[in-house]
């Protein structure tokens, strides 16, 4: 019985430590990357708009997936750039390609998220001007 309790405590401690590391990573992302702060501001605006326009549950799910995708890809892009800069501080064309592809992935997700946002919000905004 005591052994099981100790195992559970160790598992909980590892989980808390992993969670703490993840939070430090998120903090680093927003402290170090201007684009992530811009994306966070846009996220806040979109969430406020979703509340004000009372978007449907399915629209919320789509919006939240878009937010998660863009912010997660921004985090992966930052991790790749940080690692690449540490690995090879001088300019390297191949590392530059890797960094460009990672940045491109963020851009693709952001463009698709913006299109989805327009599809969801523009009709509602237009309705404000009709009435």
Backbone dihedral region for residue 39 (phi beyond 0: left; psi -120 to 50: alpha; all else: beta): alpha
Q: Stretch 58-62: mean pLDDT, rounded?
A: 98
Does 27 share its domain with 39? no
Confidence class for position 131, pLDDT limits 50, 70, 90? low
DSSP assignment letter at 54 = T
Query: What is the C-alpha separation between 109 and 118, in angstroms, rounded?
Result: 14
C-alpha gyration radius of the chain: 20
pTM (predicted TM-score)? 0.89
Q: Report d(CA 60, CA 54) in Å as an integer.
A: 9
Q: Is the domain of 124 the same as that of 73?
A: yes
Average pLDDT, integer, range 44-63: 98
Mean pLDDT of 36-63: 98
Residues of the domain holding 7: 1-32
> From residue 101, how far is each of 68, 77, 79, 105 by CA, in Å?
19, 9, 13, 6
pLDDT in tens, 82-112: 999 999 999 899 999 999 999 999 999 999 9
Tokens of 62: 């789509």
Answer yes or no: do 47 and 83 share one domain.
yes
Residue 22 sits in the same domain as residue 49: no
118 and 92 both lie in a single domain: yes
The total of other beta-carbon atoms located within 10 Å of residue 82's CB is 14
User: What is the total count of domains within the chain?
Assistant: 2
Mean pLDDT over 21-38 rounds to 97
Looking at the fold, whether 8 and 55 belong to one and the same domain comes out as: no
Query: Tokens in use for 122?
Result: 């523009």
């Amino acid at each position: 019985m005591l052994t099981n309790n100790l195992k559970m405590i160790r598992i909980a401690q590892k989980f808390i430590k992993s969670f703490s590391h993840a939070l430090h990573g998120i903090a680093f992302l927003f402290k170090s990357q201007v684009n992530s702060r811009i994306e966070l501001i846009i996220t806040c605006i979109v969430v406020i708009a979703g509340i004000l326009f009372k978007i449907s549950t399915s629209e919320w799910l789509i919006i939240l997936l878009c937010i998660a995708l863009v912010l997660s890809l921004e985090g992966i892009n930052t991790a790749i750039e940080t690692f690449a800069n540490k690995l090879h501080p001088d300019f390297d064309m191949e590392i530059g390609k890797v960094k460009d592809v990672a940045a491109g992935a963020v851009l693709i997700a952001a463009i698709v998220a913006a299109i989805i946002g327009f599809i969801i919000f523009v009709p509602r905004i237009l309705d404000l001007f009709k009435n």
